[in-house]
Chains A and B, each alone.
Chain A
Amino acid sequence: MLKIRDLRVAVEGKEILKGLNLEVGAGEVHAIMGPNGSGKSTLANVIAGRDGYEVTGGQIEFMGKDLLDLDPEDRAREGVFLAFQYPVEIPGVANIALLKEGLNAARRYRGEKELDALDFLKLVRERIKLVDMREEFLYRSVNEGFSGGEKKRNEIFQMAMLEPRLALLDETDSGLDIDALKIVSGGVNALRSEERAVILVTHYQRLLDYIVPDRVHVLAGGKIVRSGDKALALELEAQGYGWIDQATGAAA
């Protein structure tokens, strides 16, 4: 589904990703772990198409298409979803208005009919239960005045509505207490399917107790330096990231 080859990305002239390779298949959950500043968030943002990330080399292929060739809105419509590390507060734009616009834009893109108000509302009511949010949140401005946990739940709710093929969860666990973490993880697990891939970007192993990954990668110095199964995450938890400096130092 997702094939990243030798990806090089610079931010403000500084190279952050230095030849990253990654393949994620449909139905798989991959965790990207690594120390702060290793480029984890850069990877998530560059896949989603955020401005300010300059791709200086390499390719990203998504569902057989050149992803880097697509505008960010078209990436979303092709099925890429980024759950933000810091969900943005947007006063005056109702949650439900954003969802309706986003969902119908994707349907138009795929040549499908827009959902009528009734079907849309039915879908909304069904999906909002996944993250245990009250319906009043639908009519509130996007993330405005939401607690940290409510913001992250709202991200997963949006994911549930937009039904992406590839979900990128950027530090979704950060700032969550244990109850919120359980709700968010529950939502993500409910959305796991054969057709959907998930990339979890996280600093901590904690999230992976609740969303068990198929593969774990360690990103350091702009490259993936180790890959393994879920046992690797536990190893990292025990050892920390200190060993990486030695490993990459030795390799260089």
Chain B
Amino acid sequence: MDRSGNWGCCLMSVSEASAAAYVAAHREKHKQLPGGGIAALDAQRAAALEQLARQGLPSQRDEDWKYTSIRSITKSAFAPAEPGGDCPAAFIEKHAIAGLDAWRLVFVDGFFAKTLSDTSGLPGGLHLGGLAEGIRSDGARLSTHLGSALGPIPHGFAAMNSAFVADGALIEVEEGLKLERPIELIFVSGVGGEGLLSLPRNLVRLGAGSQATVIERYLSYSEGRGLNNALTEITLDDRACLDHCVLQTIGERSFHVGGVFASVAKEAILRSTTVTTSGALVRNDARVNLDGELATGHLDGCYLAFGRSHIDNHTHIAHNHPSGISRETYKGVLGDRGRAVFHGRIVVKQDAQKTDSEQSNQNLLLSDEAEIDTKPQLEIYADDVKCAHGATVGQLDETALFYLISRGVDRATARRMLTQAFAADVLNGVQCVPLREHLQSFTAAHLDAVLSDQLSDR
């Protein structure tokens, strides 16, 4: 908006106005935030708050938010949640992944809930716990790591998370330690009531040559409205290997704005898979910096947008050094009035010769009212690289459908088999077997439910 023009009476844009509520909330809260008085941390929070106030929350005029309107989020302000929400252990058990033997951290409305967590038998060299605890005991050191994988704060939501940074998961794996058990982070939101804002910040740091599996799960405690603003920072030192998965199964009236920001050093490997099956509006930012030679980044995603869900996956892989490898596959199934956005930006810096990059986004549209906006964006400044990308949008293959039907399979089952197969394919890359099986059976069951709804609607 032109601030000097005839609109002088309403200087503040809508997004700034909605940000103002959070800036005001911060004024109330900031004294409760852990690590107050640690100069570096105070400065980070203040800078982030200033950016939030100045920039506001993103609007569709921002190129990176062109296809995602956050009006449904800014319609009303969400109140930052308080610690101490009471989530029954039975809720966590009900949602357990079959066969998954993992260390588990549970977060209730964004706050670490020790009594629901299981960190028994941690090996030496693994620090696993709540970030707030960590800041209280070791804040000066951690403040140097907070924000480092994030880099320049990309938008108002990330600024908000940074201004309020308080709790979340802190995972630090010492050099050379290969973890046998996965780490499961369960974020339950809406425990303290409706209209709450959760702001978890997760810090995952793997020392040279270490290995870990980290699973982030986002669940809604109830069907009420709520907003997650979650941000995960991942730093992998040389030759470290992280299998990372985000599984979002939040309620139909919930919102989730999440970010995974990773820095991958020389010969290190990050494999990250994001699965989104629900939510009124979900925005996932994934930013991977390949910050050393022969660094590898795999970003995969599976999104199922049915009902009135809006799911936006915004990815950015930066090849900053030579011989980096990136692989990116996102697959979406959209039905009803579901909408999805895929933005896949790949930047190959001038020095990043011998880069090997492949990106693909495939979408299955099952209804006329569903919509996908897909945008691959390659920026290549090096001359000796191999980069391939492709995007497809289509319906179920009629020939394949008839093939199944001609073997006696009924039409609805055949549609389901093909749809499930389409979605499940991208999950085959998940290394942790119980997790992979869970993701596949979960997405299959979810598709089963939404597809039978679609059929009975007719």
**Measuring CB to CB, which residues of chain A are less than 8 angstroms from any residue of chain B?**
48-51, 71-73, 76-77, 81-82, 84, 87-88, 90-93, 97-99, 101-103, 105-106, 109, 141-142, 158, 162
Q: Contact between B406 and A48 (Cβ–Cβ < 8 Å)? A: yes
Are A101 and B413 interface neighbours, CB within 8 A?
yes
Q: Do the beta carbons of A88 and B405 come within 8 Å of each other?
A: no
A93 near B408 with CB under 8 A, answer no
The interface residues of chain B lying within 8 Å CB-to-CB of A82 are 406
Question: 7 tightest A-B contacts by CB?
Answer: A92-B421, A102-B407, A76-B408, A102-B408, A88-B403, A105-B408, A106-B408
Chain B, 391-430, CB within 8 A of any chain A CB = 397-400, 402-411, 413, 417-418, 420-422, 424-425
Residue contact B408 to A92, C-beta cutoff 8 Å: no
Given contacts A51-B398, A97-B417, A101-B417, contact A90 B404 (CB under 8 A): yes
B398 to chain A: closest residue by CB? A51
Closest to A97 in B: B417
A-B contact pairs, 25 of them (CB 8 A): A48-B406, A50-B406, A51-B402, A73-B406, A73-B408, A73-B411, A77-B408, A82-B406, A88-B399, A90-B400, A91-B421, A91-B425, A92-B420, A92-B424, A93-B404, A93-B421, A101-B413, A101-B417, A102-B404, A102-B407, A102-B408, A105-B408, A105-B413, A106-B408, A141-B421
**In the assembled complex, how far is the CB of residue A190 from the closest CB belonging to chain B, in whole angstroms?**
20
Contact status of A90 and B407, CB under 8 A, knowing A72-B402, A101-B413: no
Contacts of A77 in B (CB 8 A): 408
Answer whether A92 and B409 are a contact pair too, CB < 8 Å, given A50-B402, A72-B402.
no
Chain A residues lying within 8 Å of B409, measured Cβ to Cβ, are 73, 98, 101-102, 105
> Which A-chain residue is minimally distant from B425 (CB atoms)?
A92
Contact assessment for B405 and A98 in the assembled complex, using a CB-CB cutoff below 8 Å: no
Q: How far is the CA of A82 from the CA of B377 in the complex (A)?
A: 45
Q: What are the residues of chain B within 8 A of A71 when measuring CB–CB?
A: 411
Across the interface, name the chain B residue whose C-beta is closest to A161.
B407
A68 to B256, CA, bound (A): 51
Residues of B near A50 (CB, < 8 A) are: 402, 406
Q: Given A51-B398, A101-B413: A93 and B406 within 8 A (CB)? A: no
* Cα separation A103 to B409 with both chains bound (whole Å): 8
Closest chain A residue, CB of each to CB of B407? A102
Given contacts A91-B421, A92-B421, 12 further A-B contacts (CB under 8 A): A73-B408, A76-B406, A81-B406, A90-B400, A92-B422, A92-B425, A93-B418, A93-B421, A98-B409, A101-B407, A101-B417, A162-B408
From A49, A90, A99, A105, B410 is in contact (CB under 8 Å) with A105
Chain B residues within an 8 Å CB radius of A49: 406
Assembly CA distance A77 to B405 (angstroms): 10
Which residues of chain A are near B403, meaning CB under 8 Å? Answer: 84, 87-88, 90, 142
The residues in B between 44 and 80 inclusive whose CB is less than 8 angstroms from any CB of A are none
Which A residues touch B399, using CB under 8 A? 88
Q: Are A103 and B404 in contact (CB under 8 A)?
A: no
Which residues of A have CB within 8 Å of B418?
A: 90, 92-93
Q: Is the CB of A90 within 8 A of B402?
A: no
Q: Which residues 355-402 of B sit at the A interface, judged by CB distance below 8 A?
A: 397-400, 402
Q: Which residues of B contact A141 (CB under 8 A)?
A: 421
Q: How far is the CB of A50 from chain B (nearest CB, A)?
A: 6
